[in-house]
Structure 1
Amino acid sequence: MREPTLAEKVADELTHRIIIGQLKAGERLRQEEFAHEFSTSHVPIREAFLRLEIRRLAISEPRRGVRVAPLESHDALEIVRMRGALEVMALRIQKGRPNTRQLAKVREALKAGDEAADLIAWEAANRAFHTALAELSLMPRLVSTVADLNIAFSRQVFAKMRSDDWKPRSNHDHQRIYDALCGGDIDAAVNLLENHIWAGERYPSQMQVARG
């Protein structure tokens, strides 16, 4: 695996800040500020901003520069519906029982979620789990899209749930999906994943972490 470029590292760090609300909707992103913070020229920062725009986390406006994208009320439903279609398809493509190597990242994300001490760590593990499931498809473009959708979902979660309201929990849905994969029961894993994701549409006003 190649080492991420500086622009990718900056984009990932700014993505994290947007997800947890440290960078708020509508806030201006200034090249000079981040160039100074990351001790670099404006070129990697501009590339990082473009990556944020691709993830729909930032918008560029004439004479207003680059700003953190707003959180729209209809976004949550769109995100859940797209995840329900693409993540389920990615898992359904899997044929037979995944081997130990293929399941390693899924297992690591499951363990990280169980050991999470706060909402930030839990939600990062949640994203890692869903992305690792998509990686079983061996379709890089699909994986990238799923990862971006889970970033958007995480932002919705943080917008609706304060970190100090979070209590340690174990995600039984994730465990059941993992157990089904280990047993080679792909159909069961697909059904569990589909129900797990679509719960977010049935309760759009709550969007509780346990349903992500």
Structure 2
Amino acid sequence: MAKSAGPSLPETIASRLRSEIIAGKLPAGTALRQDKIAIEHGVSHIPVREALRKLEVEGFVIAERNRGSFVARLDAEDAIDLGDLRRTLECLAVTLAVPKAGEADWERAQAAIEAAEGKSEIDDWATANWDFHRALYAPAGRPRLMGTIEQLWRNADRYLRAVWQMQDYQDHSQDQHRAILAAFRSRDSARAVAEMQHHIDAATQNMVGLLRRATAHKS
């Protein structure tokens, strides 16, 4: 059997840059110099350009004519857009998943809730947070839908990390996760969708409020 091809050079470079942007190692506004990135990866400029184009399409990078590429800034309107898309697609996933989910799925979601409890490191919390949502959406059996949701999460993760340190945010998020899981366990699709809508809307409102306060403070 032929071995499946691994990630291409542009995909590898894009993955590393994406991870560093999400983790805040490359802050918003940072210039992404092609020559520097090429040297770090031991490659020519061609795969670097392809990687930056990919990240631009995903919303992590902006390209400015005659200036180069920069890490995209967090923006309140973008946060609203992401929230609207998440609500639509993730609630669809919930509707499809509730009738199919079983004890193993519920246990994975419960384990993720427990893993997130009291986390002091943002990377650990972010991983557990996605693990919870993925455990509940996976039973829907819609790989294309799941892939689209995961892409949205990559973009939303930067915003979620910004609100993670807000007072009581983690506690509220955990309570909302428990309410969502309870609805799944009772196979109440309507309640599960309502709880998920509330959860996503609350996160979006926190993000937007934080960004607008920051903008007002600067002005």
Instruction: Tell me if TM exceeds 0.5.
Output: yes
Aligned to 2:16: 13
Percent of paired sites with the same residue: 30
Contact 1:52 1:58 in 2 (8 A): yes
Alpha-carbon separation, structure 2, partners of 1:139 and 1:146: 11
Residue 99 of structure 1 corresponds to 102
Contact persistence 1:8–1:48 (CA under 8 A): yes
CA distance in structure 1 between the aligned counterparts of 2:170 and 2:201, rounded to whole angstroms? 23
Normalized against structure 1, the TM-score is what? 0.75
C-alpha distance in structure 1 between counterparts of 2:37 and 2:183, whole Å? 45
| Native 8 Å contact 1:34 1:45 kept in 2 | yes
Corresponding residue SS for 1:93 = helix
Q: Secondary structure at the match of 1:74?
A: helix
Q: Per-residue deviation at 1:70?
A: 2.3
SS at match of 1:15: helix
Q: Which position in structure 1 is the counterpart of 2:116?
A: 113
| Structure 2 match to 1:38 | 41
Measured in 2, the distance between the counterparts of 1:33 and 1:166 equals 40
Matched positions, count: 205
TM-score, length basis structure 2: 0.73
> Displacement of 1:56 after TM fit?
0.4
Select 2:150's aligned residue among 135, 144, 147.
147
Equivalent positions of 1:159-170 (< 5 A) are 159=162
- Counterpart CA distance in 2 for 1:160 and 1:193 is 18
1:172 aligns with 2:175: yes
Task: Find 1:24's aligned residue among 17, 22, 27.
Answer: 27
Query: Which stretch of structure 1 is more off in the superposition, 22-31 or 6-15?
Result: 6-15
* Residues 1:80 and 2:99 aligned together: no
Q: 1:117, 1:168 within 8 Å by CA — same for their partners in 2?
A: no
| Cα distance in structure 2, aligned partners of 1:17 and 1:30 | 15
Q: Which amino acid aligns with 1:73?
A: A
Structure 2: gaps of 5 or more residues: 212-219
CA RMSD of superposed structures (Å) = 3.3
1:38, CA displacement in angstroms? Answer: 3.4
Read off the aligned partner of 1:205 and give its amino acid letter: G
Contact 1:88 1:190 survives alignment (8 Å): yes
1:210 aligned partner: none
Cα pair 1:97 1:184 within 8 Å, conserved = no
Structure 1: runs of 5+ lacking an equivalent: 208-212
Which one-letter code corresponds to 2:35 in the other structure?
E
Partners of 1:58 and 1:66 within 8 A in 2: yes
